[in-house]
Amino acid sequence: MNALLELEGVGARYGPVTALRGVDLTVEEGEVVAVLGANGAGKTTLLRAISSSVRRSGGIRFAGRELGRRSPEGTARLGIAHVPEGRGTFVDLTVAENLRLGAYTRRGSMRDDLARVHSYFPWLRDRARQQAGTLSGGEQQMLALARALMQRPRLYLLDEPSLGLAPLLVAEIFRIVEELNRREGATVLVAEQNANAALRAADRAYVLEVGHVVLSGTSDDLARDEAVRRSYLGY
């Protein structure tokens, strides 16, 4: 069977700086996969390469189709929801408008989708008319995730959802990711510096160092791995 997402020898560069080289990676349907690595290891570039937000080399197949030279909006329309680092919330729009934008490419009523989103994020219901910029950092991160839900994507790309959040909120966000996976069979590729939280939620993980994959395996194996524990888990 073919994987939902297959990367083969993917590379990317910013001017003369190589940010990513020779990355092979697969994500099966219904899997939660983590990409771990330090600052500057290339996690963000990897996700941006998948959503066509950055020029890349190598091949990416999504749902059996070569992504090729697609635009970011074209890639989004294929069913890839990228929640960028720093959330990408539309801060001067209301919460409800942010959610409506998630469903932008679909026709018809959003009522079922909103009900689904509110089942994960009940507090969003009362905030519909609030300007997104007035939400706290954690709330904005959740709104960005909720907007991705509205896209009904086949693949979620989450870039460092824990960035700048209190531990309690980090746990809450990963709880929601797990619930999404359990209830809907959502496929998630999440880039994280917080290896503890990510490994707990993920089935498998890749470790990125200076732009290429140095280690990969199931979360349990990686969590037991001596090198990973020392470098990323802190014990």
Binding site for other proteins (CB under 8 A): 51, 53, 71-73, 76-77, 81-84, 88-93, 97, 100-102, 104-105, 123, 126-127, 130-131, 134, 136, 138-139, 147, 151, 168-169, 172
Q: Residue 156 CB, nearest distance to other proteins (Å)?
A: 12
Of residues 123 and 235, the one with the C-beta less far from other proteins: 123
The residue type found at 137 is G
Q: Residue 223 CB, nearest distance to other proteins (Å)?
A: 26
| Strand runs labelled E in 28-160 | 32-36, 56-62, 65-66, 80-83, 155-159
Of residues 61 and 77, the one with the C-beta less far from other proteins: 77
Of residues 12 and 213, the one with the C-beta less far from other proteins: 12
Cα(3)–Cα(39) distance, rounded to whole angstroms?
Answer: 28
Of residues 71 and 119, the one with the C-beta less far from other proteins: 71
Q: Residue 73 CB, nearest distance to other proteins (Å)?
A: 5
Q: Residue 20 CB, nearest distance to other proteins (Å)?
A: 19
Please choose, from the candidates 149, 121, 152, 148, the residue with its C-alpha nearest in 3D space to the C-alpha of residue 135. 121
| Strand runs labelled E in 101-211 | 155-159, 188-192, 204-209
Is the four-CA dihedral 42, 223, 173, 81 of positive or negative sign?
positive
